[in-house]
Amino acid sequence: MITGIEAIERLKEGNQRFFTGVRSVDTMIKQIHRADISGDQAPFAIILGCSDARVPAEIVFDQGLGDLFVIRVAGNVVAPSLVGSIEFAVEQFGTPLVVVLGHSMCGAVKATLDEMGKTTDPRSSNVLSIVNRIRPTIKILQLTELRDDPDQLLKTAIRANILASTNHLRHGSEMLEQLVLEQALTIVGAEYSLETGKVEFITDV
């Protein structure tokens, strides 16, 4: 198994191919010979991404079947079941990298900003469960001058939400935290630009 740093480089190379419109031959071969991996899997990276239909991780990183263990949820928020899914993948497959993948113009973050400006009750308690996980980060930002610049507030809130989820994974699981300390696991954030197709990795939290 490759290291976390090597896994990041592999994702960067894949995103560069996607960005330039060139597909990997290896990716296409894996799709054609999908039966070859039907008995086992060895994903080199775990992606906790947003459910947005415009950000499918396998395509954005130009990876084939079996390469990525992908978990998607609106707003790339962290909940117990998602942490459990990541722990499962790390334990079962020895995957060395976890990436929290957010994106520009995130609808979940925007919905949280909109919800915080309302005086009426939210329509769905289930949607509120997502909003409540994003809200604390945005609440802090609204105490700054960003409250007077909606566009910049949204951009900053998206990045802050990615970092909050990344930090949660690093310190919200004894198992993951220990693996990070042992340098057996790397957990980073990344932001995908809907406008350009490029992914920017955020390695410092």
Q: Can you give the CATH number for the domain in which 23 is found?
A: 3.40.1050.10
Task: Establish if 184 belongs to a structural domain.
Answer: yes
Describe the strand order of the beta sheet including 199-202 as a list of residue ranges: 68-72, 45-49, 97-103, 186-192, 199-202
pLDDT of residue 145: 94
Q: pLDDT tens for residues 133-191?
A: 999 999 999 999 999 999 999 999 999 999 999 999 999 999 999 999 999 999 999 99
Identify the residue with better confidence: 101 or 23.
Answer: 101
In-domain check, residue 118: no
Q: Residue 31's pLDDT is what?
A: 63
Query: Domain range holding 198?
Result: 4-105+165-202
Segment 89-96 mean pLDDT: 96
Domain count, the chain: 1
At 162 the pLDDT is 97
End-to-end C-alpha distance for the chain, whole angstroms: 25
CA atoms of 88 and 91, how far apart (whole Å): 5
Residue 123 is predicted with a pLDDT of 67
Note the pTM of the prediction, 2 decimals.
Answer: 0.91
Has residue 96 been placed in a domain?
yes
Query: Is residue 169 in some structural domain?
Result: yes
Q: Specify if 148 maps to a domain.
A: no
Helical axes 125-141 vs 107-116, angle rounded to 10°: 80
pLDDT in tens, 32-80: 655 566 667 899 999 999 999 999 999 999 999 999 999 999 999 999 9
Per-residue pLDDT tens over the stretch 13-35: 999 999 998 887 777 666 665 55
